Amino acid sequence: MSSDFEGYEQDFAVLTAEITNKIARVPRLPPDEKKQVVANVEKQLEEAKELLEQMDLEVREIPPQSRGMYSNRMRSYKQEMGKLEADFKRSRIAYSDEVRNELLGDDGNSSENQLIKLREERAHLLDNTERLERSSRRLEAGYQIAVETEQIGQEMLENLSHDREKIQRARERLRETDANLGKSSRVLTGMLRR
């Protein structure tokens, strides 16, 4: 079960990396290529949503004691999906601004130079924002892993404590049984002598 989930996780990671790369490129592409990339990203976002749904179904089938770790991972994947969609919207806004300017016939050299500079600045800001978001996602993932590890360690300690109590009770029973067997043996020996 978890191997299916991990397979979906790998597919999701590859797909989101491709989407992130394409989103960053959208504002800098020529118009014809932009249309293709935007359509492609929309399709890949749908695929990513479907993968999330599959992963969610897998998590529901995992036993409750193991489900917590996977639920946390799902939450971070859903957050990542939301961020990707927001990035895509920003990228499309940049794209639609360019289309609007092309339709309005903004041909002046100075305005075109300003527009190029603005596009470059916007792309640079989007890249920086994306890097920051990636770093924060990594930090969140690291924190989630630390929390999950702590929870697992705590559960293991509790299980070991319960096992220790069981073993101690079993030892006591064995001692009592041994004492009872000794008494029984003495009684039987006494009966045989008579």
pLDDT in tens, 115-152: 788 888 888 788 878 888 888 888 888 888 888 888 88
The per-residue pLDDT of the chain, averaged, comes to 82
pLDDT in the model for residue 43: 92
Position 100 pLDDT exceeds 60: no
In angstroms, the CA 23 to CA 10 distance is: 20
Which structure tokens are listed for 182?
A: 């000794």
Q: Classify residue 144: in a domain, yes or no.
A: no
Position 8 pLDDT exceeds 80: yes
Q: Classify residue 114: in a domain, yes or no.
A: no
Position 170 pLDDT exceeds 60: yes
User: Taking the CB of residue 138, how many other CB atoms lie within 10 A of it?
Assistant: 10
pLDDT in the model for residue 175: 92
Q: Classify residue 148: in a domain, yes or no.
A: no
Q: Classify residue 35: in a domain, yes or no.
A: yes
pLDDT in the model for residue 46: 92
Q: Classify residue 14: in a domain, yes or no.
A: yes
Q: Classify residue 21: in a domain, yes or no.
A: yes
pLDDT in the model for residue 2: 62
Pick from 162, 160, 148: nearest CA to 66: 148
Domain enclosing residue 83, as ranges: 3-105
Which structure tokens are listed for 74?
A: 């799902």
CATH of the domain at 23: 1.20.58.400
Q: Classify residue 171: in a domain, yes or no.
A: no
Q: Looking at residues 104-111, what average pLDDT do you find?
A: 52
pLDDT in the model for residue 38: 85
Count up the domains in the chain and report the number. 1
pLDDT in the model for residue 167: 93
Position 169 pLDDT exceeds 90: yes
The SS3 of residue 93 is helix
> What does the pLDDT look like over 32-87, one tens digit per residue?
788 888 889 899 999 999 988 998 888 888 888 878 888 888 898 899 989 988 88
Which structure tokens are listed for 164?
A: 């220790």
Q: Classify residue 34: in a domain, yes or no.
A: yes
Higher per-residue confidence, 176 vs 24:
176
Which of the four pLDDT bands, split at 50, 70 and 90, describes residue 164?
A: very high
**DSSP state, 62?**
S
In angstroms, the CA 129 to CA 13 distance is: 19
In angstroms, the CA 190 to CA 168 distance is: 33
Query: What's the Cα-to-Cα distance from 97 to each of 74, 122, 192, rounded to whole Å?
Result: 35, 12, 107
pLDDT in the model for residue 108: 45
Angle at 46 between CA 43 and CA 52, to 5 degrees: 145
